[in-house]
């Protein structure tokens, strides 16, 4: 059975896995799960049976299913070593995982849809305060990332050396989110340089929002040359 990925076009977590699958050259079929429209299709009981945490992405090879984007990426790395998404040196692998988690743990969970919904519906936060919340965690996280990536000798054309890997996989979807809010990105030249490098590669372009079969509207913030 062909590999399938339950995905939503704007989901950063699903976007990470799409990039990883593309970089590995592994074919897959996207099964769209609409997490925005009322209630969210991922809350339907049939999807919850597949993924009890009711989130996307969910990867399946027909026999096994895996949820959590970083667990899926680590699995892809273990079943197919090339091209590697983690460096060889153990301390470098730890560094890459830590930076990736700075995005996946410290920024993204605070700004995803179910959290923003809770802020507005359950806590009665207005749109302005919700946007301030979003920007606060984004700014805190991106500032830390810029500090780390602008000063580390491991950074090359991509976040770790000359080939794209786990950090880039997490960074690009986060930058998509930042750009979609029209955030001023001038404070993050290293992140934006790496983002632009990534967005020259088909693996990233093909995984991006506007290329998805469930995409809605256009993607106004792709670099003009793409």
CB-nearer residue toward its own copies: 140 or 213:
140
Closest approach of its own copies to the CB of residue 98, in Å: 4
Q: Which is nearer to its own copies, 19 or 55 (CB)?
A: 55
Q: Which of 46, 78, 184, 225 binds its own copies (CB under 8 A)?
A: 78
Quick check: 43 binds its own copies (CB under 8 A)?
A: no
Dist. CA 67–CA 90, nearest whole Å = 25
Cα 21 from chain centroid?
13
- 93 contributes a contact to its own copies by CB under 8 A: yes
The answer to whether residue 75 forms part of the interface with its own copies (CB under 8 A) is: yes
Starting at the edge strand found earlier in the chain, the sheet holding 58-60 runs: 29-32, 4-7, 58-60, 65-67
- Spatial contact of 105 and 170, defined as CB atoms under 8 Å apart: no
Mode of pairing for the β-strands spanning 29-32 and 65-67: unpaired
Tell me the closest approach of the beta carbon of residue 222 to its own copies, in angstroms.
27
169 is a contact residue toward its own copies (CB under 8 A): no
Give me the least distance between CB of 142 and its own copies, in Å please: 11
Confirm or reject binding of residue 60 to its own copies (CB under 8 A).
no
The one among 25, 44, 83, 109 contacting its own copies by CB under 8 A: 109
* Closer residue to its own copies, CB minimum distance, 60 or 212: 60
Judged by the rule CB under 8 A, the positions of this chain that interact with its own copies are: 52-55, 64, 66-68, 70-72, 74-75, 78-79, 90-91, 93-95, 97-98, 101-102, 104-106, 108-110, 115, 118-119, 122-123, 125, 129, 132-133, 136, 141, 144, 147-148
């Amino acid at each position: 059975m062909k590999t399938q990925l339950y995905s939503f076009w704007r989901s950063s977590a699903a976007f990470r896995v799409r990039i990883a699958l593309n970089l590995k050259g592994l074919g897959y079929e996207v099964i769209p799960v609409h997490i925005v429209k009322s209630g969210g299709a991922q809350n339907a009981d049939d999807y919850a049976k597949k993924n009890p945490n009711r989130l996307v992405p969910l990867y399946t090879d027909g026999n096994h299913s895996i949820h959590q984007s970083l667990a899926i990426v680590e699995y892809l790395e273990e079943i197919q070593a090339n091209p590697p998404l983690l460096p060889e040196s153990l301390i470098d692998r730890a560094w890459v995982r830590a930076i990736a988690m700075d995005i996946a743990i410290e920024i993204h969970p605070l700004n995803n849809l179910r959290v923003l919904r809770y802020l507005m519906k359950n806590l009665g936060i207005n749109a302005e305060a919700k946007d301030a919340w979003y920007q606060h965690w984004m700014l805190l996280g991106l500032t830390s990332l810029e500090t780390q990536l602008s000063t580390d000798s491991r950074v090359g054309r991509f976040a770790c050396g000359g080939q794209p890997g786990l950090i880039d996989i997490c960074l690009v979807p986060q930058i998509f989110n930042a750009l979609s809010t029209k955030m001023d990105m001038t404070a993050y030249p290293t992140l934006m340089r790496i983002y632009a490098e990534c967005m020259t590669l088909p693996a990233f372009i093909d995984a991006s929002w506007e290329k998805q079969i469930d995409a809605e509207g256009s993607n106004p913030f792709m670099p003009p040359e793409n």
